[in-house]
Amino acid sequence: MFEQSQIQEFKEAFSCIDQNRNGIIDKSDLRETYAQLGKVNVKDEDLDAMLSEGKGAINFTVFLTLFGEKLNGTDPEDTILNAFKLFDPHGTGSINKDEFKRLLMTQADKFSEEEVEQTFAVTPIDVAGNLDYKSLCYIITHGDEKED
């Protein structure tokens, strides 16, 4: 996801935020970091909202993952999976390819034919024409192992 030099930069940033040097970013660390930047009246609910993005204690690994998600512009895997589940009322883990193509080309940020084909090129599709959206979610959030 990141090059070694980027990881080192994130480690330095993490160390700056982890004011008490316990390896975990908590509310007091965030409050102190904001104070050092000149903002002293940060609301508890704002700090809580930041911490809740980690879904638990924010150690360096979680910190790096959060930055990866933000920088790559993707939602967390469970968010994408839940969106796909709306099109899978029977909970099969797959969606009909033709129906999915129609939705991609006619709804919201409409895909072009070429964009749909690029999506299908990395998407597992069975012989019945159903796409495995759980695998597609993984590819969206972690990349396609064939890209390397």
State how far the alpha carbon of 31 is from the alpha carbons of 16, 51, 112, in Å: 12, 12, 46
Decide which of 31 and 139 is more confident. Answer: 31
Does position 22 have pLDDT exceeding 90, yes or no? yes
Instruction: Using the structure block, give the residue that is written with the tokens 């192992």.
Output: 145
What amino acid occupies position 102? Answer: R
pTM summary value: 0.49
Q: How much is the pLDDT for 144?
A: 62
Q: What is the mean pLDDT of residues 105-132?
A: 88
Nearest C-alpha neighbor of 57 from the set 92, 95, 18: 18
Instruction: Using the structure block, give the residue that is written with the tokens 């700056």.
Output: 16
Take residue 148 and report the two structure tokens written for it. 């390397």
Q: How much is the pLDDT for 147?
A: 44
